[in-house]
A and B are shown apart, each in its own frame.
Chain A
Amino acid sequence: MSARNRLYAALIFLGPALLAVILLRIWPAFDAVHQSLLAPRATRYGFENYIFILTDPVFQNSLWTTLIYSLIVNPLQIAIALALALLMNVAVRLIRFWRTLILLPVAIPQSVSAVIWGVALRPDGPVNAMLVAIGLEEQRFLTSPDQALASVILIVSWIGVGYWMMFLLAGLQDIPKSLYEAVRIDGANRLQQFWYVTLPQLRRPLTFVLVANTVANFLVFAPVQILTQGGPQGSTNLIMNEIYTLAFVAGDPASAAAATVILVSVVLLVVIVQFRMMSAPEDRQR
């Protein structure tokens, strides 16, 4: 097969995927940038939409809320997922059953989980009934501006940790047993084994989980829309919900496009930083 023919063959095979990427990813992205630069009823490009949202206290609060949410939810989910993966990697009785139990919430759609948790966390719901039964005070959960964001974190983590655990568990099982034997001969204790063997060997799956989880958490929408719609008092107004509100409630698609561009830029920036931080020293020297 000549080089030209090989190129054609590759193009035919890649064509559908490339077309999908262009139609579903690249074109909408360009369209969002184009929309974001056109103020309502404007005919020329300008930064009016960006100035409008960046000076809007509601949008500022939404960015701030998203930042706090991300700083808590990502380390929390990864720490729990890693702890669960380590736990599930040891040989105990019924290990498959325990793994299934932890992975099960992943199989439930986010929206269904949100509805179930919404009922559970209602002021007169079963969670409060349990709290009272063990002698604690009733909590307001999703109706309190001080507890709503924490409740959302609880719900998305319940859904998410099992999923991320599976990647880390697969990574753990890939680590050669001989490495542990070698450091044990050198006299390493359990903590040292974890620090000098497990963590470095887990770098690749951890990088993936960190990046994918961060992106997923920036884009959380369904639980917020179903449970709080950004309330009470804007305390759960994560940026995706704010974009939705701008586009479909306030009827301001231009501002929504600007907010989308800002969101994508922030996510890209964070992901680039994460990749840099997680790359090994030997990769960086190259």
Chain B
Amino acid sequence: MTMAERRSRRGGTSGKVAALLTATLIAGPALAQETTVNFLGANSLDWYAPVIEAFEAAHPDITIAYQRVPFEDLNAAIEARIGQGDSSIDIFEADTPRVPALAWRGYLAPLESRRAEIEAAVPNPVDIEQVSHEGTLFAYPMWSSTQLLYYNRDLLDAAGVRAPAAAPAERLTWAELLEKARAAQEAGAEWGVLVQQVDRYYQLQPLFESSGAGPGLTGDGLLEPAVDTDAWIETARWYADLFEDGIAPRGIAPSQTDDLFINGQLAFMIGGPWVLGRYMSAEGLDFGVAPVPYFEGGEPVTPTGAWALGINPGAANKEAAKTFAEFVTLTAEGSYLSISQAPFPPTNAEARQRYIADMAQLASQIGPIHAVMEYELGNTAVGRPRTIGYVAFETIMNRTFSDIRNGADVAEMLEQTQNRLGRAMSRLR
């Protein structure tokens, strides 16, 4: 019951007139009172603070309460809270490849009624596809993503190694990169090369796509695992050898990898544009960017897709949550603010233009990052498999990658994973 309704029951005739006036003056019933929208996510509150502040200033009747859980626990939190009908979560971060699984389970409110507005602000059909399941829109597209090769200029200079070129046509092969990395290590760099999210499928899928091994899922609805093929074993072995040969460090968590690059202990880092904030402000770090390497004989491939905003179908404050989501994703101002602390490429077209212009200003310092990103987003981006089995697939794969980099037998590990995936997927078919 809204405040206006409550007042109308309590009052007499004059009260009823006043209530009627109040009700007609205030646009939506849910907005007629102080509303707190609960926002569940895995990313740092710092990233959202500017956009939340601007939103609250424009909507004084709505407060956004952000609840952060570790990335590894976000699925469990969604499953345990939204899956059990908890209405206290209104809006949450939905990773785009998880949209089909979340939609299939009924954890995302359909947004077809807002299609026209969403498509007007986000005209790229690929971005719309990323938040759809079987033709229905299920989330507000927020950010996209890509990967770059970051290199430490001082470490390469010390080794007399030529920095990789920024032009996509001169992209390095992995073999060429490892040669440079080894040379840098011989000249004093502690570590050669590291993938920022060491054991996450998002960053490792491109290795398997580039080598021709494929995404690891096939068949109807992408529900059949294919991670025990010779090509998969070979590529996984190549990755395991980086750690075996001491080019990359073992036993390190994804959250600790940036520090190695910032502290000048690492020559090459594969990372998203969101690391720029920390790298640019790191004292004494002189770095440049180049396109990510590819396997000789294979295609250059970069990952893509990023966070979108989903609405809990059972949310207590659905309308207020949508108002916030639309401010963040459909207005240029909100979209641009949402990436001010973590520069993901926004999907909002107007904000994207401003974003690319900002990136172009960094070119004199770190190389033409805007050109590399635009090329990768337009030419080499391969999304993660869009299947209702993705959540289970990704979590199981991440654990497998963790075991592989820590020294488990690759072929044995992938065979076990194939079986585990097969059983998990069989429960979804």
| Residue ranges of A at the interface with B (Cβ–Cβ < 8 Å) | 40, 52, 56-58, 122-124, 140, 143, 145, 229-234, 244, 247-252, 254-255
What chain A residues lie within 8 Å of B88 (beta carbons)? none
27 residue pairs bridging A and B, Cβ less than 8 Å apart: A58-B423, A122-B251, A123-B250, A123-B251, A124-B251, A143-B251, A143-B406, A145-B408, A229-B72, A232-B403, A232-B406, A233-B403, A244-B76, A248-B79, A248-B80, A249-B75, A249-B391, A249-B392, A250-B392, A250-B395, A250-B396, A250-B427, A251-B391, A251-B392, A252-B424, A252-B427, A254-B427
What chain A residues lie within 8 Å of B251 (beta carbons)? 122-124, 140, 143
Q: Which 6 A-B pairs have the closest CB atoms?
A: A248-B76, A123-B251, A249-B395, A250-B424, A250-B392, A248-B79
The answer for the CA separation of A123 and B428 in the assembled complex, in Å, is 39
Q: What number of A-B contacts does a CB cutoff of 8 Å give?
A: 61
The answer for the CA separation of A254 and B403 in the assembled complex, in Å, is 28
Determine chain A's interface SS by DSSP, over half rule: loop
Residue contact A231 to B399, C-beta cutoff 8 Å: yes
Closest Cβ–Cβ distance, residue B9 to chain A (whole Å)? 33
Closest Cβ–Cβ distance, residue A120 to chain B (whole Å)? 13
The answer for the CA separation of A122 and B251 in the assembled complex, in Å, is 7
Q: Would you call B115 an interface residue if the criterion is a C-beta within 8 Å of the partner chain's C-beta atoms?
A: no
Residue contact A58 to B391, C-beta cutoff 8 Å: no
Residue contact A58 to B408, C-beta cutoff 8 Å: no
Taking CB as reference atom, which chain B residue is nearest A49? Answer: B427
What chain B residues lie within 8 Å of A233 (beta carbons)? 403, 408, 413, 416
**Extra A-B contacts (9), CB below 8 Å, given A250-B392, A250-B395:** A52-B423, A57-B416, A57-B419, A229-B72, A248-B79, A249-B392, A250-B424, A254-B427, A255-B427
Kindly identify, within residues 353 to 405 of chain B, every residue whose CB is under 8 Å from any CB belonging to chain A: 391-392, 395-396, 399, 402-403
The answer for the CA separation of A19 and B408 in the assembled complex, in Å, is 50
The answer for the CA separation of A104 and B303 in the assembled complex, in Å, is 48
The answer for the CA separation of A255 and B392 in the assembled complex, in Å, is 14
Q: Would you call B420 an interface residue if the criterion is a C-beta within 8 Å of the partner chain's C-beta atoms?
A: yes
What chain B residues lie within 8 Å of A122 (beta carbons)? 251
What chain A residues lie within 8 Å of B413 (beta carbons)? 233
The answer for the CA separation of A229 and B396 in the assembled complex, in Å, is 11
Q: Would you call B91 an interface residue if the criterion is a C-beta within 8 Å of the partner chain's C-beta atoms?
A: no
The answer for the CA separation of A53 and B121 in the assembled complex, in Å, is 47
Taking CB as reference atom, which chain A residue is nearest B393? Answer: A250
What chain B residues lie within 8 Å of A143 (beta carbons)? 250-251, 406-407
Determine chain B's interface SS by DSSP, over half rule: helix
Kindly identify, within residues 73 to 117 of chain B, every residue whose CB is under 8 Å from any CB belonging to chain A: 75-76, 79-80, 101, 105
Query: A52 and B427 in contact (CB under 8 A), knowing A57-B419, A233-B403?
Result: yes
The range of chain B's interface size is 20 to 34
Residue contact B75 to A248, C-beta cutoff 8 Å: yes
Taking CB as reference atom, which chain A residue is nearest B413? Answer: A233
Closest Cβ–Cβ distance, residue A6 to chain B (whole Å)? 41
What chain A residues lie within 8 Å of B419 (beta carbons)? 57
Residue contact A56 to B423, C-beta cutoff 8 Å: yes
The answer for the CA separation of A122 and B406 in the assembled complex, in Å, is 12
Query: A229 and B399 in contact (CB under 8 A), knowing A122-B251, A248-B76, A248-B80?
Result: yes
The answer for the CA separation of A251 and B391 in the assembled complex, in Å, is 8
The answer for the CA separation of A234 and B76 in the assembled complex, in Å, is 19
Closest Cβ–Cβ distance, residue B48 to chain A (whole Å)? 25
Taking CB as reference atom, which chain A residue is nearest B394? Answer: A249
The answer for the CA separation of A42 and B391 in the assembled complex, in Å, is 22
Residue contact A251 to B105, C-beta cutoff 8 Å: yes
Pick from B72, B79, B420: contact of A251, CB under 8 Å: B79
What chain B residues lie within 8 Å of A247 (beta carbons)? 79
Taking CB as reference atom, which chain A residue is nearest B105? Answer: A251
What chain A residues lie within 8 Å of B392 (beta carbons)? 249-251
Closest Cβ–Cβ distance, residue A185 to chain B (whole Å)? 61
Closest Cβ–Cβ distance, residue A111 to chain B (whole Å)? 12
Closest Cβ–Cβ distance, residue B6 to chain A (whole Å)? 31
What chain A residues lie within 8 Å of B427 (beta carbons)? 40, 52, 250, 252, 254-255
Pick from B72, B80, B105, B403: contact of A231, CB under 8 Å: B403
Closest Cβ–Cβ distance, residue B80 to chain A (whole Å)? 6
What chain A residues lie within 8 Å of B408 (beta carbons)? 145, 232-233
The answer for the CA separation of A168 and B423 in the assembled complex, in Å, is 46
The answer for the CA separation of A40 and B424 in the assembled complex, in Å, is 12
What chain B residues lie within 8 Å of A56 (beta carbons)? 423
Taking CB as reference atom, which chain B residue is nearest A39? Answer: B427
Closest Cβ–Cβ distance, residue A231 to chain B (whole Å)? 6
Closest Cβ–Cβ distance, residue B108 to chain A (whole Å)? 14
Taking CB as reference atom, which chain A residue is nearest B419? Answer: A57
What chain B residues lie within 8 Å of A58 (beta carbons)? 420, 423
Closest Cβ–Cβ distance, residue B230 to chain A (whole Å)? 22
What chain A residues lie within 8 Å of B79 (beta carbons)? 247-248, 251
The answer for the CA separation of A93 and B391 in the assembled complex, in Å, is 58
Closest Cβ–Cβ distance, residue B52 to chain A (whole Å)? 28
Closest Cβ–Cβ distance, residue B424 to chain A (whole Å)? 5
Closest Cβ–Cβ distance, residue B18 to chain A (whole Å)? 44
Taking CB as reference atom, which chain B residue is nearest A59? Answer: B423
The answer for the CA separation of A234 and B79 in the assembled complex, in Å, is 23
The answer for the CA separation of A111 and B129 in the assembled complex, in Å, is 40
Closest Cβ–Cβ distance, residue A61 to chain B (whole Å)? 10
Query: A231 and B424 in contact (CB under 8 A), knowing A244-B76, A248-B75?
Result: no
Closest Cβ–Cβ distance, residue B155 to chain A (whole Å)? 21
What chain B residues lie within 8 Å of A254 (beta carbons)? 427
What chain B residues lie within 8 Å of A230 (beta carbons)? 399
Closest Cβ–Cβ distance, residue A280 to chain B (whole Å)? 45
Taking CB as reference atom, which chain A residue is nearest B388? Answer: A251
Taking CB as reference atom, which chain B residue is nearest A232? Answer: B403
Closest Cβ–Cβ distance, residue B133 to chain A (whole Å)? 15
What chain A residues lie within 8 Å of B428 (beta carbons)? 40, 251
The answer for the CA separation of A140 and B406 in the assembled complex, in Å, is 10
The answer for the CA separation of A252 and B80 in the assembled complex, in Å, is 12
The answer for the CA separation of A56 and B426 in the assembled complex, in Å, is 12
What chain B residues lie within 8 Å of A232 (beta carbons)? 402-403, 406, 408
Q: Which of B80, B406, B419 has the largest number of chain A CB atoms within 10 A?
A: B406
